[in-house]
Amino acid sequence: PALHIEDLPEKEKLKMEVEQLRKEVKLQRQQVSKCSEEIKNYIEERSGEDPLVKGIPEDKNPFKEKGSCIIS
């Protein structure tokens, strides 16, 4: 059976919230300006290998149609 937050007593909800906040306060935080630059560099370095940017070679494309239909 799935656990639904709405079904819990208020005390249990508050305990869960406090526990979540304790986890979040321990996270190391960085400035968005620094993180975004690192993410941009990471993406640019790997863009040559990315099939969404580069495309998939026809011979390795599992979704390529196997045959064709000719109507005359």
**CATH at residue 9:** 4.10.260.10
> Residue 35 belongs to what domain range?
5-60
Q: Answer for the pair 25, 33: CB distance below 8 angstroms, yes or no.
A: no
Is the pLDDT reported for residue 27 higher than 90? yes
Is the pLDDT reported for residue 1 higher than 70? no
pLDDT at site 58: 82
Q: How confident is the model at residue 39 (pLDDT cuts 50, 70, 90)?
A: very high
| pLDDT tens-digit readout, 48-57 | 888 888 888 8
Q: For residues 68 and 38, which has the higher predicted lDDT (pLDDT)?
A: 38
Q: Shortest CA distance to 51 belongs to which of 41, 61, 38, 40?
A: 61
How many structural domains is the chain composed of?
Answer: 1
Average pLDDT over residues 29-43: 92
Average pLDDT over residues 8-36: 94
Residue 25 lies in a domain: yes
Distance set, CA 2 to CA 5, 7, 8 (Å):
10, 11, 12
Residue 66 lies in a domain: no
Distance CA 13, CA 18 (A): 9
Distance CA 44, CA 59 (A): 26
Residue 36 lies in a domain: yes
Residue 51 lies in a domain: yes
